[in-house]
Amino acid sequence: MDLKLKGKRALVTGASKGIGLAVAQSLAAEGCHLDIAGRGVPALELARDMLRQAAPGIDVRIHGADLSQVEDQERLAQACAEVDILVNNAGSNPAGDLDDTSDKTWRNAWDLKVFGYINLTRSIFHAMKQRRVGVIVNIIGYAGERLFARYIIGSTPTGPRACCARSPRASSARPSDGAMSSASWTFRSGEWEGRAKSRTS
């Protein structure tokens, strides 16, 4: 499949394993140069070597960063201001119901999974806006659409989906149960148009 991404550059957070690494592998297969970010540098180095071996023609840069920290968010945004694609994927929310979940647990989770997305999106968006081109994708959990009382943090309406509505092109993707649901916004004729779709693999 040719998605016309050859020569583009993408930043993928939480890319040392799991969904983030899978996204990076797919982009690499399309000839996309990569910036991959995560907390563990050794794991990022392994991911970088794997990506380079699979797609020898691409450039892969690694960034050790704790994206729950504003300083690391800002440093990463400055280092990757020229990216064509941002994929926010870092972080996960711990399980627990309303009574079990302390303020500290909730704030720690949202510092990464919500404000980490929002702040990085805001910074990268400004650079994309100046170029009038760019794509931002936010990976979210299925609990954002399906209320689950034992996963109250993830089931609470999240900020990342709302924050994308002003970017040159933005999407929220929810991979689960063999299906992919997404919402996207595109700038057309001076206005932002939104759409939602679902497909089953």
Q: What is the pLDDT of residues 160-199, one digit of tens each?
A: 443 444 445 555 555 444 333 444 444 343 443 444 444 4
Question: Tell me, what's the pLDDT at 173?
Answer: 54
Q: What is the pLDDT of residues 72-99, one digit of tens each?
A: 999 999 999 999 999 999 877 778 888 8
Residue whose C-alpha is closest to residue 5's, from 55, 46, 49, 52: 55
Handedness of CA 44, 49, 52, 55 (dihedral sign): negative
Question: Tell me, what's the pLDDT at 179?
Answer: 38
- Which helix (H) or strand (E) covers residue 62, if one does? strand 60-64
Phi, psi at 60, each rounded to 5°: -125, 125
> What are the structural domain ranges in the chain?
65-200
Q: pLDDT > 90: what percent of the chain?
A: 49
From the candidate CATH numbers 3.30.420.40, 1.10.3720.10, 3.40.50.720, 3.30.70.2740, the one assigned to the domain spanning 65-200: 3.40.50.720
Residue whose C-alpha is closest to residue 129's, from 163, 162, 167: 167
Q: What is the pLDDT of residues 1-53, one digit of tens each?
A: 778 889 999 999 999 999 999 999 999 999 999 999 999 999 999 999 999 99
- Which helix (H) or strand (E) covers residue 53, if one does? helix 41-54
Whole-prediction pTM: 0.76
